[in-house]
């Protein structure tokens, strides 16, 4: 089956199997390896991407469901000159990562969260990231990074 998607601004048509998950399409067909496969059950959020601007766990979306749609991954956030997206810059500044496995999905979930709520409280950040797990950081610096990216002082 053919699927035409725009991923990080690049439109392309590819031949895929009906059952291919979006996460595997992004990694294996499009060569975008930052989107991680963590659990295949929507539990961890490591595969979070934006589909038409909305946060989705790509391990539960078929590639054919993305036909005619726009997908954004962490590789597409930085500007062409290498300038980091504000969320990426805040993660770097606030040390919002440790091993890095959850980071691409966490960053994409944060981008979506800030699109929907540009100035969240700490509680709203924690609620908004509920479906994305990090086994290393304890979330403190991730929450700080989201608050910094929103222009707030994390105290």
Q: How many residues does the chain have?
A: 155
Extended beta strands in the chain, E state:
2-7, 10-15, 48-51, 54-57, 70-72
The label of the residue with tokens 């009906």 reads 18
- Within 10 angstroms of residue 13's Cβ, the number of other Cβ atoms is 10
Residue 109 predicted with pLDDT over 90: yes
pLDDT, tens digit, 9 for 90 and up, residues 21-70? 999 999 999 999 999 999 878 899 999 999 999 999 999 999 999 999 99
* Bigger pLDDT: 40 vs 81: 81
The label of the residue with tokens 């992004």 reads 26
Q: In the prediction, which pLDDT does 44 show? A: 95
Burial letters 115-137, b for 16+ CB under 10 A, else e: eeeeebeeeebeebbeebbbeeb
pLDDT, tens digit, 9 for 90 and up, residues 111-133? 999 999 999 999 999 999 999 99
Class level of CATH domain 2-73: alpha beta
- Assigned superfamily of 86-149: [2Fe-2S]-binding domain (1.10.150.120)
Q: List the domain boundaries for the chain.
A: 2-73, 86-149
């Amino acid at each position: 089956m053919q699927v035409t998607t725009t991923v990080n601004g690049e439109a392309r048509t590819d031949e895929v199997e009906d059952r291919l998950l979006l996460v595997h399409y992004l990694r294996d067909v499009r060569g975008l390896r930052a989107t991680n496969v963590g659990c295949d059950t929507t539990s961890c959020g490591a595969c979070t991407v934006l589909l038409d601007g909305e946060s989705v766990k790509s391990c539960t979306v078929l590639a054919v469901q993305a036909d005619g749609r726009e997908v954004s991954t962490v590789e597409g956030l930085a500007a062409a000159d290498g300038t980091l997206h504000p969320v990426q810059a805040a993660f770097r500044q606030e040390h919002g990562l440790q091993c890095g496995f959850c980071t691409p999905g966490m960053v994409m979930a944060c981008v979506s969260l800030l699109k929907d709520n540009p100035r969240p409280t700490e509680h709203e950040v924690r609620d908004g990231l509920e479906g994305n797990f990090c086994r290393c950081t304890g979330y403190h610096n991730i929450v700080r990074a989201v608050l910094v990216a929103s222009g707030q002082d994390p105290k």
